[in-house]
């Protein structure tokens, strides 16, 4: 019976493993401003522009890409229209 107990405890060892994912690190204010400015002028970012943003803001291309995708999904559809109409009046 003791042998069965040892096997059972060894199957639970997966809960003690350390995750390989990196810890979440929020963007700095400078990085957020850079990403928001670019999004204001272009909601679509080309590969070259993504590389340039990543280099200038010390991020990875993947981080820039994911930020833009999430921003596109969460921002109101007519946000840019309201901003441009507001500047006319």
18-46 tens-digit pLDDT: 668 878 888 999 999 999 999 988 888 89
> What's the whole-model pTM score?
0.60
| CATH architecture, range 29-86 | Orthogonal Bundle (1.10)
CB 58 within 8 A of CB 31: yes
DSSP string, 48-84: HHHHHHHHHHT--HHHHHHHHHHHHHHS-TTHHHHHH
Closest CA to 31 of 7, 66, 5: 66
Domain residue ranges in the chain: 29-86
* DSSP single-letter state for residue 46: -
For 47-68, what is the mean pLDDT?
Answer: 94
For 10-16, what is the mean pLDDT?
Answer: 57
Distance, C-alpha 76 to centroid of its chain: 18
How many residues can be counted in the chain? 89
């Amino acid at each position: 019976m003791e042998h069965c107990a040892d096997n059972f405890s060894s199957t639970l060892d997966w809960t003690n493993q350390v995750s390989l994912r990196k810890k979440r690190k929020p963007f700095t204010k400078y990085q957020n401003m850079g990403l928001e400015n670019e999004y204001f002028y272009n909601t679509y970012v080309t590969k070259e522009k993504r590389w340039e943003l990543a280099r200038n803001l010390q991020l990875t291309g993947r981080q820039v890409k994911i930020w833009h995708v999430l921003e596109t999904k969460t921002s109101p559809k007519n946000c840019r229209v309201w901003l441009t109409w507001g500047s006319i009046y």
